[in-house]
């Protein structure tokens, strides 16, 4: 049975399908103008975005321009500043058998792109996905996440104000709307979310042979060997674990620390929690974002309960008594590796800590489990760093920092295997949302030998082969 709004969605798709050839051949100036108009529209609604994020997730209103708005603007400015270079054809040298041929790579739009935004950073990641789609000359149907209704509404208003529907159309709605949009024979899907839903999206895209970009997250480990300043390591782990109450794909999901360092690390980590999230020893809920809904709060508490039932120690933290959808930062010790908290992406402010005596213990675990979106190595021992990098795989790596590989626009960002596919940010986003088209032009020649089909010129006859 088709969705009640299927005719609406079909109409939007038809508009964009007809317009995609105009968009494909649009000038750099036109694309930059679209991005600048989006920028101006976002800034006009910046206060509404901040209020919406507070209403949906309890994100603190710390500055006039929210960080989610700032990061979307950074992506736009980077694209506008560099698009003239990104669109240039890549000229290739000549090769044997193709002498005189003009070979090049050109970037062309994929066509109609369907973008699904996540709920954890519902504004920033929605528009960071849209920016490369526009820079590459695509049209886009954009669905904000329904779990953050206030942010979805302001995002849809911004899109409607900045674009014609044939260029970009915002569509609000629930999972049924998402499924209906996936019935459209779109050219590319950009999805940010969980691996479970990612598999559903990828299967739907495969029905139309649409290409996909998947940013799916994963259990990002922090590995500490004691050669890096332990105070700094604890601070960075805490930042990565508590940011947005752990509802971030780049969170430091769990720690592997050398056994003899455990007590010292715990003391430093707990001091940081007291300083940042407690007042006179009493937890301050205003310092933490809310869990997105009670279902996810129940899920995270379930991880804690499961780990404790298997013999783990809850050193501190858990669901707040004064605000049930907010968690006090939690620490779990002696967690069995088969506990759910060590198998599933936590997406909450719970830190399981594992100890190791030999690097092989860490590498064996990481090799036996899904590849994470990020890995954090805290070490000044270059041999140790190289051993960990060589013995593991992840979407990206930050050494002696947290999520720096995400923040640097010159680096590609994305996952591998269970943590995603495809790359974006900066030039890599432009290329991801483009088709890299191979073009070779043979010269007109009076030389009959050169005019032969290329296959005849490069294949050696059997009679001429060495005996």
pLDDT of residue 8: 96
Query: How many whole angstroms separate alpha carbon 69 and alpha carbon 65?
Result: 6
Q: Is the pLDDT of residue 427 over 70?
A: yes
Catalytic residue among 215, 328, 345, 432: 215
pTM for this predicted structure = 0.92
pLDDT of residue 465: 54
pLDDT of residue 60: 79
Q: What is the pLDDT of residues 212-243, one digit of tens each?
A: 999 998 899 999 999 999 999 999 999 999 99
pLDDT of residue 12: 97
SS3 content of the chain, % helix, strand, coil (to 5): 45, 20, 35
Q: What is the pLDDT of residues 49-97, one digit of tens each?
A: 999 999 999 887 766 789 999 999 999 999 999 999 999 999 998 888 8
pLDDT of residue 321: 82
pLDDT of residue 455: 53
For residue 388, what are the CA distances in angstroms to 283, 325, 352, 375, 463? Answer: 37, 37, 20, 10, 53
| Annotation says 215 is catalytic | yes
For residue 10, what are the CA distances in angstroms to 109, 166, 173, 197? Answer: 21, 12, 15, 23
Lowest mean pLDDT among 353-367, 402-416, 432-446: 432-446
What CATH architecture does domain 221-414 belong to?
3-Layer(aba) Sandwich (3.40)
Q: What is the pLDDT of residues 16-57, one digit of tens each?
A: 999 999 999 999 999 999 999 999 999 999 999 999 999 999
Per-residue pLDDT band for 466 (boundaries 50, 70, 90) equals low
Nearest to 55 by CA among 149, 132, 173, 172: 149
What are the two backbone dihedrals, phi and then psi, of residue 306, each rounded to the nearest 5 degrees? -65, -45
Q: What is the pLDDT of residues 303-344, one digit of tens each?
A: 999 999 999 999 999 998 888 889 999 999 999 999 999 999
Q: What is the pLDDT of residues 118-175, one digit of tens each?
A: 999 999 999 999 999 999 999 999 999 999 999 999 999 999 999 999 999 999 999 9
Query: How many whole angstroms separate alpha carbon 439 and alpha carbon 121?
Result: 40
348-387 as b/e: b if 16+ CB within 10 A: bbbbbbbbbeebeebbebbeeebbbbbbbbbbeeeebbeb
The domain 6-216+420-439 is placed in CATH, from the list 3.40.605.10, 3.40.50.150, 1.20.1560.10, 3.40.640.10, at 3.40.605.10
Contacts of 416 (CB under 8 A, 6+ apart): 371, 393, 394, 395
237-266 average pLDDT score: 96
| Annotation says 249 is catalytic | yes
Query: How many whole angstroms separate alpha carbon 310 and alpha carbon 39?
Result: 51
pLDDT of residue 59: 87
pLDDT of residue 61: 74
- Domain assignments of the chain as residue spans, ordered by start: 6-216+420-439, 221-414
Per-residue pLDDT band for 445 (boundaries 50, 70, 90) equals low
Q: Is the pLDDT of residue 438 over 90?
A: yes
Q: Is the pLDDT of residue 454 over 60?
A: no
Q: Is the pLDDT of residue 360 over 60?
A: yes
Compute the mean pLDDT over every residue in the chain, rounded to the nearest whole number.
93
Catalytic residue among 148, 249, 328, 432: 249
Q: Is the pLDDT of residue 464 over 70?
A: no
């Amino acid at each position: 049975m088709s969705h009640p709004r299927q005719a609406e969605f079909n109409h939007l798709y038809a508009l964009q399908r007809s317009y995609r050839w105009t968009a494909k051949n649009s000038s750099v100036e036109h694309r930059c103008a679209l991005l600048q108009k989006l920028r101006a529209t976002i800034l006009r609604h910046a206060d509404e975005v901040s209020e919406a994020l507070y209403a949906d997730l309890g994100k603190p209103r710390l500055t006039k321009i929210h960080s989610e708005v700032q990061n979307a603007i950074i992506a736009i400015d980077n694209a506008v500043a560099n698009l003239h270079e990104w669109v240039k054809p890549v000229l290739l040298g000549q090769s044997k058998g193709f002498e005189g041929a003009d070979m090049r790579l050109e970037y062309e739009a994929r066509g109609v792109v369907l973008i699904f935004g996540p709920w954890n950073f519902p504004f920033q990641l929605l528009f960071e996905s849209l920016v490369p789609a526009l820079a590459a000359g695509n049209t886009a149907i954009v669905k904000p996440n329904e779990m953050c209704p206030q942010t979805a509404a302001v995002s849809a208003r911004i899109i409607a104000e900045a674009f014609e529907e044939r260029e970009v159309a915002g569509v609000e709605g629930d999972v049924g709307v998402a499924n209906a949009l996936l019935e459209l024979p779109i050219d590319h899907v950009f999805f940010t979310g969980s691996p479970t839903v990612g598999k559903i999206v990828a299967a739907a895209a495969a029905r139309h042979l649409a290409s996909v970009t998947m940013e799916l997250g994963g259990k990002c480990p922090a590995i500490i060997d004691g050669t890096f300043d332990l105070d700094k390591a604890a601070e960075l782990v805490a930042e990565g674990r508590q940011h947005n109450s752990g509802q971030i794909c780049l969170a430091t999901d769990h720690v592997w620390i050398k056994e003899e360092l455990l007590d010292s690390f715990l003391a430093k980590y707990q001091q940081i929690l007291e300083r940042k999230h407690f007042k006179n020893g009493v937890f301050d809920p205003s310092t933490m974002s809310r869990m997105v809904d009670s279902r996810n709060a129940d899920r995270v508490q379930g991880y804690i309960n499961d780990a404790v039932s298997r013999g783990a120690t809850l050193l501190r933290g858990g669901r707040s008594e004064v605000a049930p959808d907010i968690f006090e930062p939690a620490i779990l010790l002696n967690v069995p590796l088969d506990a759910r908290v060590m198998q599933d992406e936590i997406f909450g402010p719970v830190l399981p800590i594992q100890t190791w005596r030999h690097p092989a213990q860490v590498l064996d675990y990481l090799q036996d489990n899904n590849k994470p979106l990020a890995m954090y190595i805290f070490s000044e021992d270059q041999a140790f760093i190289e051993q960990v990098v060589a013995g593991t795989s992840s979407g990206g790596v930050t050494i002696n920092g947290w999520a720096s590989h995400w923040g640097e626009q010159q680096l590609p960002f994305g996952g591998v295997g269970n943590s995603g596919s495809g790359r974006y940010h900066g030039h890599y986003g432009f290329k991801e949302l483009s088709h890299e088209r191979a073009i070779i032009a043979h010269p007109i020649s009076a030389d009959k030998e050169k005019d032969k089909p290329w296959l005849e010129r490069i294949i050696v006859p059997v009679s001429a082969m060495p005996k």
